[in-house]
Amino acid sequence: MAQDYGFDTLQIHAGARPDPATGARQVPIYQTTAYVFRDADHAAALFNLQEVGYIYSRLTNPTVAALAERLAALEGGAGAVCTSSGHAAQIMALYPLMAPGKNIVASTRLYGGTITQFTQVFKRFGWECTFVDTDDLAAVEAAIDDNTRAVFCETIANPGGYVSDIPALAKIADKHGLPLIVDNTTATPYLAKPIEMGATLVVHSLTKYLTGNGTVTGGAIIDSGKFDWSASDKFPSLSQPEPAYHGLKFHETFGALAFTFFSIAIGLRDLGMTLNPQAAHYTLMGIETLSLRMDKHVANAAKVAAWLEKHPAVEGVTYAGLDSSPYKDRAAKIVPKGAGALFTVTLKGGYDACVKLVDSLELFSHVANLGDTRSLIIHSASTTHRQLTPEQQKAAGAAPNLVRLSIGTENADDIIADLDQALAKASA
Q: What is the pLDDT of residues 46-103, one digit of tens each?
A: 999 999 999 999 999 999 999 999 999 999 999 999 999 999 999 999 999 999 999 9
Count H helices and E strands in the chain, helices first. Answer: 19, 12
Q: What is the maximal distance between C-alpha atoms in the chain?
A: 75
- What's the average model confidence in pLDDT over 305-311? 98
* Contact assessment for residue 351 and residue 412, using Cβ atoms and an 8 Å cutoff: no
Q: pLDDT (tens digit, 9 = 90+) per residue, 121-147?
A: 999 999 999 999 999 999 999 999 999
Residue 32's Cβ-count burial label (10 Å; 0-12, 13-18, 19+) is middle
Model-wide pTM > 0.85: yes
Residue 397 has pLDDT above 80, yes or no: no
How far apart CA 147 and CA 164 sit, in angstroms, is 24
Q: Would you state the pLDDT for residue 424?
A: 97
Q: Would you state the pLDDT for residue 95?
A: 97
Give Cα separations from 144 to 131, 138, 140, 174, 271 (angstroms): 11, 10, 7, 12, 28
Which listed CATH number (3.40.50.2300, 3.40.50.150, 3.90.1150.10, 1.10.3720.10) goes with 290-426?
A: 3.90.1150.10
Q: Would you state the pLDDT for residue 388?
A: 79
How far apart CA 15 and CA 63 sit, in angstroms, is 9
What per-residue string of b and e applies to 116-153 under the rule 16 or more CB within 10 Å gives b? bbbbeebeeeebbbbbbebbeeeebbebbeeebbbbbb
Give Cα separations from 260 to 216, 220, 263, 405 (angstroms): 23, 11, 5, 34
Give Cα separations from 37 to 44, 54, 63 (angstroms): 9, 9, 19
Bridge partner list, 180: 151
In the chain, where the domains are located: 7-286, 290-426
Q: pLDDT (tens digit, 9 = 90+) per residue, 152-198?
A: 999 999 988 999 999 999 999 999 999 999 999 999 999 999 999 99
Query: What three-state secondary structure class fits 367?
Result: coil
* Contact assessment for residue 161 and residue 320, using Cβ atoms and an 8 Å cutoff: yes
Q: pLDDT (tens digit, 9 = 90+) per residue, 265-303?
A: 999 999 999 999 999 999 999 999 999 999 999 999 999
Nearest CA-CA partner of 334 in 124, 153, 166, 87: 166
Q: Would you state the pLDDT for residue 387?
A: 79
Q: Would you state the pLDDT for residue 2?
A: 54
Domain 7-286 has CATH 3.40.640.10: yes
**Mean of pLDDT over the chain:** 95
Residue 384 has pLDDT above 90, yes or no: no
Strands 148-154 and 402-406: unpaired
Q: Residue 28: left if φ>0, alpha if ψ -120 to 50, beta else—which one?
A: beta
Q: pLDDT (tens digit, 9 = 90+) per residue, 194-244?
A: 999 999 999 999 999 999 999 999 999 999 999 999 999 999 999 999 998
* Contact assessment for residue 106 and residue 118, using Cβ atoms and an 8 Å cutoff: yes
